[in-house]
Amino acid sequence: MKMKYRTLLAFAVLLIWHGVFSGNCMADPIIDSVSPITVAIGQEVHIFGQQFGGSQGASAVTFFDGITADQINSWSDSEIVCQVPGESH
The answer on pLDDT for 78 being more than 80 is yes
Structural domains of the chain in order of their starting residue, each with its CATH number:
5-83 (2.60.40)
Q: Torsions phi, psi of 88, nearest 5? A: -75, 150
At 13, is the pLDDT very low, low, confident or very high (cuts 50, 70, 90)? low
The answer on pLDDT for 17 being more than 90 is no
Task: Say if residues 33 and 5 touch (Cβ distance below 8 Å).
Answer: no
Q: Model-level pTM? A: 0.73
The pLDDT of residue 65: 73
Separation between Cα atoms, residue 24 and residue 5, nearest integer Å:
40
Task: Say if residues 60 and 68 touch (Cβ distance below 8 Å).
Answer: yes
Separation between Cα atoms, residue 72 and residue 60, nearest integer Å:
8
* Residue 48: Cβ within 10 Å count: 16
The string of pLDDT tens digits covering residues 19-77 is: 444 454 557 888 888 898 888 888 899 999 998 888 888 888 888 777 888 899 999 99
